Amino acid sequence: MNCKDFMTYMEDFVDGDVEKDIKERCEDHIKMCKGCMERMMDFKKCMEFFKCCMPDEKPPEGIKNWMSRFMAQCCGGDTVEKKEVI
């Protein structure tokens, strides 16, 4: 595998979404190629940073309050239209 091939597979390789054969060839390549190893580490770092910047927010209480009204008012029928929930 050369560097161009590795870059084609890099994201799938990092995602664990490649066939065993490709996985092994990618692993062999980065053992020998410092440049591709660094590109892969940069990619992983970027994705890790992205994930850590997307923390879960607490849903507003309004949704739970709406759900209480929804259950009280609308769940008697089969199909509910949004306008029915006040």
Binding footprint of another protein on the chain (CB under 8 A): 11-12, 15, 17, 42-43, 45-60, 62-64, 66-67, 70-71, 74-76, 78-82, 85
From the CB of 82, what's the least distance to another protein, in Å?
A: 6
- Minimum Å gap between C-beta 45 and another protein is 5
User: How deeply is 33 buried, as exposed, middle or buried, from its count of CB atoms within 10 A (0-12, 13-18, 19+)?
Assistant: middle
Please, what is the minimum distance in Å from the beta carbon of residue 22 to another protein?
A: 14
Tokens, residue 86: 């006040």
Q: Kindly tell me the burial class for residue 50, based on how many C-beta atoms sit within 10 Å of its own C-beta (0-12, 13-18, 19 or more).
A: exposed
